[in-house]
Chain A
Amino acid sequence: MATPVIMPKTGMTQETGTVIRWFYQEGDYVKKGEPLLEVMTDKVNMEIEAPASGVLKGIKAFPNDIVPVTQVIAYIVEPGEELVEEKVTPTPAMGEGVPVERREPTPVATTAAIAPETGKVKATPVARRLAREHGLDLTQITGQGPGGTITKDDVLKAMERAAAPPTAPPVREAKTIPLVGRRRIIAERMQQSVREAPHIALSIEVDMSAAEKARHDASYTALLVHVVARVLRKHPLLNSTLRGDQIVLLDDINIGVAVATDEGLIVPVIKRADTKLLADIDTELKELTKRARAGKLTLDDVTGGTFTITNLGMFDIPYFRAVINPPEAAILAVGAIIKRPVVIDDGIYIRPIMTLTVSADHRILDGVAVAKFLQELKAALERLA
């Protein structure tokens, strides 16, 4: 009996995984429990162990292939055994004439059940023909049909867009970077966030004089994690998530910190940050950052976030708005600390000012709720001793 090797599902929201590399080749003998291949999920790289001992056969997914979770990507067979793949047999139970709820799978379900070869574009024949006739690249068109299929309508819209800028001068291309791996995951998640969550963004300026002294050796980011976590305790709507038609207030306050890596952003999480000392947070954050840049984060390191902080202050960005990291309710964007003249009690003083911007999901929160949070966060930072 052939044992299938599948693309494992490791997180609730994970839909696909990307193959990084196989440690064995077709025909190699592998032992159960040994690392078989490395895959990248939307969170981390992870090693997948061989589910059985035997000979690796029928590898279907290769490095950079994006594969739906639970799909078979290879088999392990007994030495000498021929690989006989399970056939997709049409079952009578899926036949016709049965009432709607018992009917054969809809085209959507069918395409999901029999996943196409990865990397191939799903498009209807007419969409393909129109794209060909009008010189459009189907890989540049996002399918809005069932299962992401590119339909006639999608191509017609793309044609309209293509027609819009009248004869733009051709741009010379240096190289193309395939939208794969973490880049693709970021693309999809950010797209989803912008599509699903109506963003509102509010900013506040904070005098960081007190904070500068209070942080000692800790980084500003660690300090912010520490303070934000405590303020969030009193503003549970910012530490919530939308599940169907319910807003779920979360008890744990797990602060994700966006870290830039060569492969793109990754967000390790400081768990229950509201219960930790600043020094501990600082140490943990340094360790996580180091591991993130080395690609050594574990699944546990990057899951469970309830609120995210993203800091571009070190790049002298005065302020910016960030895109919410779904399924969270809000994200805090931290700008650079800049010395500015400020008026205090009719006097002009030079003070280190930092602009904090919260982007929040307007389905969950109104502007006032965010404003109150920012007000209290500002007070907390300015009161630090």
Chain B
Amino acid sequence: MREITYAEAIREALRQEMQRDPHVFLMGEDIGVYGGAFGVTLGLLEEFGPERVRDTPISEGVIAGAAAGAALTGMRPVAEIMFMDFTTLAMEQLVNQAAKTRYMFGGKAKVPMVLRTPAGSGTGAAAQHSQSLEAWFVHVPGLKVVMPSTPYDAKGLLISAIRDDNPVIFVEQKLLYRTKGPVPEEPYTVPLSVAEVKRAGRDVTIIATGVMVVRSLAAAAKLAQEGIEVEVVDPRTLKPYDAETITKSVIKTGRVLIVHEAYKTCGFGAEIAAMISEGPAFMYLNAPIRRLAGLDIPIPYNRTLEYHAVPQEENIITAVRELMAYK
């Protein structure tokens, strides 16, 4: 199969959905001529024109709020917030308005919008352009949160997100934009709320999100040389997430490592750890549930400090070995 990058896969999903459905349009800062801060929307202005690829002023509140209003009245907007850090400026609109509208109106309204936003560290962008704030959105009923780790998933999940009738926060990983992978040319969907076992193994279950899936798979390959078979589960959708696939894997292995880039305290991993502890998999645990996550610090600028602020492959390898001490 043809291989394209994660960014190209996202662009292809946007293009194909815009071709398929005239209600789909894009809005955000510098997404037109500029092509988006990371070039994801390059060329779409030329193809679809300024009416459907709309550059906005620097107004995150109204980007999110107008997307919700347009969605409420029949459109399927895909809004872009240039950095996930800036979703803080759109919180009222996302949390109090978009997420609540349907329920508070008795289930009689729908808000089919997507809010795309690049997240994560590793680019030397320091504390205000590097965050992974997905847990905030996971916390809010009414929102869906999607976080693809491969080009294939990025395309299929984005198409599903656009077709979904709910507000979806689509978290893109900056470090993955240039990663390549096989992606079919025709439109296809990857269902929301379905996790994928990215690598099967019997010894340890790693539940990882975003770029940590890539690092976990690399770690798993090395651990396999030591005879440790790691199973890597990628939830792909963080809200509502697929507890069943995770539970099945944990029952199989009895050892759990959760890896995410976002801050550890109250991160997505805390939810997964709690879910496992409360659920049927608990009685199959043969080791304490382990989390690897970003340090509880703002992302530092310095390259070495930034590297150590979030989990790396070697940290994953060490953590797995430690879990394996529980025989």
Quick check: A95 and B290 within 8 Å, CB to CB?
no
- Which residues of chain A have C-beta atoms less than 8 A from B296's C-beta? 92, 95
Do A124 and B286 contact each other (CB < 8 Å), given the known contacts A103-B315, A149-B326? yes
CB proximity to B under 8 Å, residues A75-113:
90, 92, 95-100, 103, 106-108, 110
- Tell whether B318 is near chain A: CB-to-CB under 8 Å: yes
**Min distance, Cβ A170 to any Cβ of chain B, angstroms:** 29
Bound-state Cα–Cα, A153 to B295, Å: 33
Contact of A96 with B294 in the complex, beta carbons under 8 Å: yes
Tell me which of B287, B290, B293 has the highest count of chain A C-beta atoms within 10 A of its own C-beta: B287
Which chain B positions have C-beta within 8 A of A216?
Answer: none
Contacts of B283 in A (CB 8 A): 125-126, 128-129
Docked-complex contact A107 and B288, CB < 8 angstroms: yes
How many B residues, CB 8 Å from partner?
A: 31
- Residues from chain A with a CB closer than 8 A to the CB of B314 are 99-100
Q: Render B276-314 as a binary contact track against A, CB cut-off 8 A, 1 for contact.
A: 000000111111101111111100000000001111101
Contact A124 to B326, CB < 8 A, known contacts A97-B310, A103-B315: yes
Q: How far is the CB of A135 from chain B (nearest CB, A)?
A: 16
| Interchain CB contact under 8 A, A106 and B327 | no
Complex: A336 Cα to B87 Cα, angstroms: 87
B325 sits at the interface (CB 8 A): yes
Contact of A100 among B288, B290, B318, B323 (CB under 8 A): B318
Q: Which residue of B lies closest to A154 (CB)?
A: B327
Q: Which residues of B contact A149 (CB under 8 A)?
A: 326
Q: A99-B308, A152-B254 are in contact. Are A146 and B295 (CB under 8 A)?
A: no
Q: Is the CB of A145 within 8 A of B326?
A: yes
- Cα distance A108–B285 in the bound complex, in angstroms: 16
Complex Cα–Cα for A347 and B320 (A)? 74
**A275 in the interface (beta carbon within 8 A):** no
Q: Does B264 contact A (CB under 8 A)?
A: yes
CB-CB nearest in chain A for B295:
A95
Can you list 14 A-B contacts (CB < 8 A)? A95-B297, A96-B295, A96-B315, A97-B312, A98-B308, A98-B315, A107-B287, A107-B288, A107-B325, A125-B284, A127-B286, A129-B283, A151-B286, A151-B326
A residues sitting closer than 8 Å to B (CB atoms) are 90, 92, 95-100, 103, 106-108, 110, 124-129, 144-146, 149, 151-154
